[in-house]
């Protein structure tokens, strides 16, 4: 980033590390390059604290004692009632974040049926990033062989070949386009974040 850009915290995606085990530390480190607001659950303090990264927010259950033994002075402790994922995402949304990067099991999040409109939620798990295509249309240049997961029926596709179930592979270097009647989830394979 050049020195003439001024970026407010809410303009960069917040990073909510809900399940740190779903990605390698190397992948997570790449998400940290822009110094996002980093939020975690108290149960992950020991694991994430050992990484030596800056933590901004720690969500903890309100029926427990707030965490005290954290090596950073600037951590904000946020009490939640009983649903870490939902309440953590809502807190970040209410704070003004328009995009939230979430480290979590995609299927588990999808089953939650979260309504975070108009927030853009990007879920990172292993070698995929998942996101909602709200407009029903998606177009992007991708390299041949790139894998996509499309979670919708009756999708019009261009430059893709169906492999199995909801997995598709890019046929040739170039633009891939998808069209569907409504919004749908899409998973895009990533080699590196």
Q: 118 and 48, same structural domain?
A: yes
CATH number for 38: 3.40.50.10240
Q: 22 and 51, same structural domain?
A: yes
pLDDT 10s digit of each residue in the chain, 193 long?
433 334 454 567 899 999 999 998 888 998 898 888 999 998 898 888 888 888 999 998 877 666 666 666 678 889 998 889 999 999 999 999 999 999 999 998 888 877 767 788 999 998 899 998 988 999 999 999 999 999 888 789 999 999 988 899 999 999 999 999 988 899 999 865 4
Q: What is the pLDDT of residue 149?
A: 94
Q: What is the pLDDT of residue 76?
A: 87
Q: Which two tokens stand for residue 137?
A: 């249309």
Q: What is the pLDDT of residue 110?
A: 84
Q: 149 and 175, same structural domain?
A: yes
Does the residue 1 lie in any domain? no
Q: What is the pLDDT of residue 69?
A: 65
Cα gap 129→159, rounded to integer Å: 20
Cα gap 155→151, rounded to integer Å: 9
Quick check: 128 and 145 in contact, CB under 8 A? no
Does the residue 2 lie in any domain? no
**Final residue belonging to a domain, choices 126, 151, 180:** 126
Q: 165 and 108, same structural domain?
A: no
Q: 17 and 100, same structural domain?
A: yes
Per-residue pLDDT of 79-114, as tens digits, reads 998 889 999 999 999 999 999 999 999 998 888 877
Quote the Cα angle for 161-101-3, to 5°: 110
187: buried, middle or exposed (CB in 10 Å: 19+, 13-18, 0-12)?
A: buried
Q: 157 and 84, same structural domain?
A: no
Quick check: 112 and 105 in contact, CB under 8 A? no
Which three-class secondary structure state does DSSP give residue 137? Answer: strand
Does the residue 3 lie in any domain? no
Cα gap 121→119, rounded to integer Å: 6
């Amino acid at each position: 980033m050049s020195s003439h850009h001024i970026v407010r915290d809410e303009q960069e995606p917040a990073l909510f590390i809900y399940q740190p085990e779903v990605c390698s530390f190397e992948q997570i480190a790449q998400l940290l390059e822009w110094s996002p607001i980093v939020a975690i659950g108290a149960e992950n303090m020991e694991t994430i604290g050992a990484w030596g990264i800056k933590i901004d927010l720690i969500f903890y259950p309100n029926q427990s004692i707030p965490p005290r033994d954290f090596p950073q002075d600037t951590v904000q402790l946020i009490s939640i009632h009983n649903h870490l994922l939902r309440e953590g995402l809502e807190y970040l949304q209410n704070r003004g974040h328009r995009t939230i990067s979430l480290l979590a099991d995609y299927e588990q999040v999808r089953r939650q049926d979260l309504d975070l409109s108009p927030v853009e939620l990007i879920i990172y798990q292993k070698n995929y990033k998942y996101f909602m295509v709200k407009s029903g249309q998606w177009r992007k240049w991708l390299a041949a062989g790139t894998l996509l997961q499309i979670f919708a029926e009756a999708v019009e596709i261009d430059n893709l070949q169906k492999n199995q179930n909801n997995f598709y592979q890019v046929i040739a270097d170039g633009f891939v386009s998808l069209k569907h009647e409504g919004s749908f989830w899409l998973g895009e394979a990533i080699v590196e974040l």
